[in-house]
Amino acid sequence: MSAQYNVCVIGLGSMGMGAAQSCINAGLNTWGVDINPQSCNALKQAGAKDAGHSAIPFAQQLDAVVLLVVNAAQVNAILFGEDALAPHLNPGTAVMVSSTISSADACQIAEKLAEYHLLMLDAPVSGGAIKAAAGEMTVMASGSVTAFEQLAPILDAVAGKVYRIGEAIGLGSTVKIVHQLLAGVHIAVAAEAMALAAKAGIPLDTMYDVVTHAAGNSWMFENRMQHVLDGDFSPKSAVDIFVKDLGLVSDTARSLKFPLPLASTALNMFTSASNAGFGREDDSAVIKIFSGITLPEKKQ
């Protein structure tokens, strides 16, 4: 089946590039779309059939589309906006929406796709660039049995673990939003802890070593505070991503009339970092909101 299976990955950032490369490695006929020509060229060199700024030229050949763009506005613009892709896809094509979006947006997108007789899988992902490149992402998905079946070759290619949350669109997005609550709070509290250590004059490499070998460790602490030690805030995942994602967490809680004291504080911290000019830096740059501390500088 895989030799005849045609997929396009839209959004060739750190996650999308890894997903597209995993599809190529699995033997799927793979196309890519991104506004960045360098990303498109890199994917073509990796073995893609083609890559460019639009999927419309090869839309008729596709069995499936995977969207790994930033937010719901971008998903809607690609599928239904100016130069809309949805009308060019064959009826029955499966669309895997893997952006982090609200449950309500996921439902609205699914309804619009249905007007074109297109299937949707509400399938946000996690794991970072390294897991994406290895084809080991975690996928939290909801949708029809048909959508899961049609997207099976892609799920096999990109995921180490696929959670089938249910058939209702929106469930996958909600699970991802709950996950992002934890991810955002973990980064924020990791930054707070390291900032306190810096203020107290504790060498940060020592503090990092202690925490990563003790009960207070988390995956986010271990991963992101290494960036702080390296003085390297080039974005793997930017501060503004967590302004968006924790905003979605907050919106979800508001709709459920549910209090989230820790997530609200973390959102305020990321928003402060963005307001201070660090929005496009790595999300570990949230540590820069603390004054009176000296952080490691990047080694030349």
pLDDT tens-digit readout, 215-272: 999 999 999 999 999 999 999 899 999 999 999 999 999 999 999 999 999 999 999 9
Same domain for 131 and 6, yes or no, is: yes
CATH number at 32 reads 3.40.50.720
Same domain for 46 and 146, yes or no, is: yes
pLDDT tens digit sequence for 133-159: 999 999 999 999 999 999 999 999 999
User: Residue 240: inside a domain, yes or no?
Assistant: yes
User: Residue 295: inside a domain, yes or no?
Assistant: no
Same domain for 116 and 182, yes or no, is: no
Q: Residue 22 carries which DSSP code?
A: H
Residue 71: domain span: 2-169
Instruction: Supply the DSSP string of 200-240, one letter for each residue.
Output: TT--HHHHHHHHHTSTT--HHHHHHHHHHHHT----SSBHH
User: Residue 299: inside a domain, yes or no?
Assistant: no
pLDDT value, residue 1 = 42
Same domain for 208 and 222, yes or no, is: yes
Active site residue 49: no
pLDDT value, residue 2 = 41
In the chain, the number of structural domains is 2
Residue 82 and residue 140: Cα distance in Å, rounded?
30
pTM of the model: 0.94
User: Residue 77: inside a domain, yes or no?
Assistant: yes
Q: Where are the alpha helices (DSSP H) in the chain?
A: 14-25, 37-45, 72-80, 103-115, 128-133, 145-150, 152-158, 171-199, 204-212, 219-230, 239-255, 261-273
pLDDT value, residue 69 = 97
Which residue among the candidates 44, 131, 176, 236 is catalytic per the annotation?
A: 176
Judged against a pLDDT cut of 60, whether residue 3 lies above it is answered with: no
Domain end point (choices 131, 154, 169): 169
Same domain for 182 and 122, yes or no, is: no
Same domain for 71 and 132, yes or no, is: yes
User: Residue 298: inside a domain, yes or no?
Assistant: no
Same domain for 8 and 128, yes or no, is: yes
Same domain for 145 and 200, yes or no, is: no
